[in-house]
Amino acid sequence: MAEKKKNNGNKGRKMKVITINLSWFYILIIGLIIWMLFFQNSDGRANPQKIEWEEVQQMAREGDVQEIDFVRNEFEGKIKVRPDRLQKYESKFGGQVPKKSPHFFFLVSSSFNAEEMFGALNEQLPQESRFKVVIENNDKTWVDVLNWLLWPALLILFWVFMFRGMGKSMGGPAGGGIFGVGKTPGKLVDNKDKNRVTFKDVAGMYGAKEEVMEIVDFLKNPKKYTALGGKIPKGALLVGPPGTGKTLLAKAVAGEADVPFFSISGSDFVEMFVGVGASRVRDLFRQAKEKAPCIVFIDEIDAVGRARSKNGGFTSNDERENTLNQLLTEMDGFDTNSGVIILAATNRADILDKALLRAGRFDRQIHVDLPDLKEREEIFKVHLKGIKLSEDFDVEFLAKHTPGFSGADIANVCNEAALTAARHNKHKVDRQDFLDAVDRIIGGLERKDKIITPEEKKSIAHHEAGHAVVSWLLPNANPLFKVTIVPRGQALGAAWYLPEERQLMTRDQMTDEMCALIGGRVAEEIVNGQPSTGALNDLERLTKMAYSMVCYYGMSERVGTVSFYDSTGSRGYELTRPYSERTAEVMDEEVKRLVQEIHDRTLSLLTEHRQEFLEVAALLLEKEVIFADDLERILGPRAGADSSRNREEEKAAKAQEDAENSSGVNPLHREGTEEHSGEKADKVHEKDAEQ
């Protein structure tokens, strides 16, 4: 029983794995080689000097020889000189007196009779001058062989291990080293993997999932299509912004189809060695054919699939183009029913080679766009599974306050919210933690300790108040949610919007947005009489929108209903523009005229509402953060919004409900608890960028 108990105690223990650091092995080999090269003979021992038998006899007669070791089967004798006579032969050793023997050696013929010759020589000498004679056969030939083989063996081991490490550092497959650089580094995910991804793990992307479901059906039931004469598609290209879930969707296809899944990045093909990329392509497709039916997924294919240069100039890359050519050949060389489907992902489909996108290679393009409101809600539910939430948590509210967020952004928000709650020692994550996380991701970390002079703070308040008032008074501007003069990231202040998710924009909508952009700069001109450098980001975006209206969208009467937008991306390789110098001048003039009209309109609007604008700025200086309710109290209902009566009724009902629930408890300060969010990426107006 005791033995059984002992075994049960060790049942759950993990065996300790001993790992060997190969770097110490490299150091040992290098040290041994250095010792053999430099220190083996650096202990005072000189190399034995060859002499003739006559010289040996002369040295013996002079009493200089202490001992002679003769190897009978090698016909070689080694001489040890008396220590007090070594100075006599200093010149023979290049001025260095050797400290260890043997000092000389001699070679004789096979007829040499050692006993007779040494005996006769000793009889000629007085007793005190005679030398010791040792005669033997060399039976250690194998030791000498090993000594000769030790040096090349160590050298070979050193180079093998060094090349293995070099091969891994240069992208060679694991265990292959430099001798396996032509092998594909692609990872194989087998269908037996317990952690495989299915469509249940992919939230949103309804249109994309519907298209890839057909690919799954191809792999599961190929005879269903081939029986009717149909051909299984060769490949599909997933196109969309970063973070939208293209890679995840490809993994889900493999998981649903229950087939092996090869994953590789486009940058893994191209290396410093010529021909490695093409070799890796061949090896990848060879393995895929062996595992068919299967899926090969190439992530960031634009790294190897970029359009080939036509002029062979500075933009050409022979190695990358050879790799692309091999990829085109392999994709087009498949048998019709091979059962291998190629999936690729990129966010730069415009720069891909046209030969790669033709029918028979990538038969279809699947667009994976940013999620809409409903899709964001589903994505939030997926990423919130492992997070402890408060009881009154509302996922729909978060989805509404994160327009323009990708799936990766939403995952980051959920993680940042959990970290924020833990930072405040909370046991559950509430809505305010998520809102703070959104603010931090978009605008950066609050920097309340940043030193700002009172004059600068007033200028920032007027700037942000200008943005807020203009966007509030224009019906087509994005709805304002919050204004702050608390520094975040590189911005000294910001106006936060919750934009409508529009697919199209009219001229009026674009001009209203442009007025909201320049509102901060115009406000500074009204109050201070001159602008500051804080409107850098606003002017940059304003100018880009103006050029887009004139050059791309055909919204200029003078330029006409023309567009110089290049959707193919090929114009970047051309040295000439598709319009004349005169047209370019007209474009510039139209952009300046449009921006001036926007400026004058904004100036007129803020001048008309100067008193309200100054009141908003004063409130900003007092609270540092104000919300849409504060603007409505000063400016009235937002232009284009619901009637004031309905909004007042809603506010009254909400206030009554809050009063009933609070039971006399004073509400917290708005800055810390009010619902606040912002818009993702370039839709967030970070106004006062630091200069």
What is the number of other CB atoms lying within 10 angstroms of the CB of residue 599? 17
Rounded percentage of the chain residues whose pLDDT exceeds 70: 74
Residue type, 66: Q
Return the H-helix or E-strand segment holding 342.
strand 340-346
CB 362, CB 342: distance < 8 Å: yes
Q: How confident is the model at residue 524 (pLDDT cuts 50, 70, 90)?
A: very high
φ/ψ of residue 214, rounded to 5? -65, -35
Task: State the pLDDT at residue 430.
Answer: 87
Q: Pick the most confident of 21-30, 384-393, 654-663.
A: 384-393
- Point out the least confidently predicted range of 184-193, 289-298, 454-463, 494-503: 184-193
Q: How confident is the model at residue 653 (pLDDT cuts 50, 70, 90)?
A: very low
Angstrom distance (rounded) from CA 212 to CA 203: 14
Q: How confident is the model at residue 175 (pLDDT cuts 50, 70, 90)?
A: very low
78 bridge partner residues: 69, 105
Angstrom distance (rounded) from CA 510 to CA 546: 9
Task: Please check the confidence at residue 8 and state whether its pLDDT lies above 50.
Answer: no
Which tokens belong to 257?
A: 């189809």
Task: State the pLDDT at residue 192.
Answer: 61
Sign of the CA dihedral with 529 first, then 531, 534, and 540 last: positive
Rounded percentage of the chain residues whose pLDDT exceeds 90: 14
Q: Which residue has the tokens 């110098």?
A: 581
Angstrom distance (rounded) from CA 2 to CA 603: 92
CB 421, CB 433: distance < 8 Å: yes
Please report how many Cα atoms fall inside a 13 Å half-sphere around the Cα of residue 295, on the Cβ side: 32
Task: State the pLDDT at residue 35.
Answer: 65
- The verdict on whether 501 is a catalytic residue reads no
Q: Which residue has the tokens 């004059």?
A: 455
Which tokens belong to 405?
A: 């967020």
Angstrom distance (rounded) from CA 421 to CA 430: 8
What is the number of other CB atoms lying within 10 angstroms of the CB of residue 134? 13
- Point out the least confidently predicted range of 66-80, 271-285, 301-315, 456-470: 301-315
Describe the strand order of the beta sheet including 364-367 as a list of residue ranges.
Answer: 187-189, 261-265, 294-299, 340-346, 235-239, 364-367
Q: Which residue has the tokens 């100054």?
A: 614
343 bridge partner residues: 236, 297
Task: Please check the confidence at residue 106 and state whether its pLDDT lies above 60.
Answer: yes
- Point out the least confidently predicted range of 542-546, 557-561, 670-674: 670-674
Cis bond before residue 293 (omega within 30° of 0): yes
Q: Beta strands 294-299 and 340-346: pairing type? A: parallel
Q: How confident is the model at residue 678 (pLDDT cuts 50, 70, 90)?
A: very low
Beta strands in 166-293 (DSSP E): 187-189, 235-239, 261-265
Angstrom distance (rounded) from CA 212 to CA 347: 18
Task: State the pLDDT at residue 652.
Answer: 42
Task: State the pLDDT at residue 21.
Answer: 55
Task: Please check the confidence at residue 196 and state whether its pLDDT lies above 90.
Answer: no
Task: Please check the confidence at residue 575 and state whether its pLDDT lies above 70.
Answer: no
φ/ψ of residue 423, rounded to 5? -65, -30
What is the number of other CB atoms lying within 10 angstroms of the CB of residue 262? 23
Task: State the pLDDT at residue 553.
Answer: 92
Taking Cα atoms as reference points, which of 436, 548, 452, 455 lies closest to residue 496? Answer: 436
Task: State the pLDDT at residue 388.
Answer: 86
Task: State the pLDDT at residue 650.
Answer: 42
- Point out the least confidently predicted range of 168-177, 592-601, 661-670: 661-670
CB 542, CB 514: distance < 8 Å: yes
Angstrom distance (rounded) from CA 99 to CA 83: 8
User: To the nearest whole number, what is the mean pLDDT of the chain?
Assistant: 77
Question: What average pLDDT does range 532-536 have in this prediction?
Answer: 88
* Axis crossing angle, helix 610-623 with helix 581-608, rounded to the nearest 10: 80
Residue 26 vs residue 52, higher pLDDT: 52
Angstrom distance (rounded) from CA 317 to CA 309: 8
What is the number of other CB atoms lying within 10 angstroms of the CB of residue 48? 16
What would the 3-class secondary structure string for 604-624 be?
A: HHHHHCHHHHHHHHHHHHHHC
Q: Beta strands 49-50 and 480-484: pairing type? A: unpaired
List, for residues 141-161, the tens digit of each pLDDT value: 666 666 667 667 767 776 666
CB 534, CB 491: distance < 8 Å: no
Task: State the pLDDT at residue 550.
Answer: 93
What residues have CB less than 8 Å from 684, skipping those under 6 apart?
442, 443, 494, 496, 497, 678
Task: State the pLDDT at residue 273.
Answer: 61
Question: What average pLDDT does range 650-664 have in this prediction?
Answer: 41
Find the distance separating the first CA and the last CA of the chain, reported in whole Å.
Answer: 78
Angstrom distance (rounded) from CA 530 to CA 367: 47
Which tokens belong to 422?
A: 């833990």
- Point out the least confidently predicted range of 30-34, 176-180, 214-218: 176-180
Catalytic residue among 271, 378, 464, 674: 464
Q: How confident is the model at residue 445 (pLDDT cuts 50, 70, 90)?
A: confident
Q: How confident is the model at residue 677 (pLDDT cuts 50, 70, 90)?
A: very low
φ/ψ of residue 188, rounded to 5? -105, 120
Residue type, 330: E
Give pTM, 2 decimals.
0.64
Burial class (CB in 10 A: 0-12, 13-18, 19+), 68: buried
Which tokens belong to 507?
A: 């001229």
Q: How confident is the model at residue 513 (pLDDT cuts 50, 70, 90)?
A: very high
- Point out the least confidently predicted range of 105-119, 529-543, 568-582: 568-582
Task: State the pLDDT at residue 9.
Answer: 45
Angstrom distance (rounded) from CA 209 to CA 254: 13
Q: Which of the 8 DSSP states describes residue 173? A: P
List, for residues 230-278, the tens digit of each pLDDT value: 777 788 898 988 888 888 888 888 778 777 888 888 877 776 566 677 8
Question: What average pLDDT does range 636-647 have in this prediction?
Answer: 60
Task: State the pLDDT at residue 347.
Answer: 86
Task: State the pLDDT at residue 183.
Answer: 58
Three-state DSSP at 299 gives: strand
List, for residues 659-670, the tens digit of each pLDDT value: 444 333 332 222
CB 390, CB 430: distance < 8 Å: yes
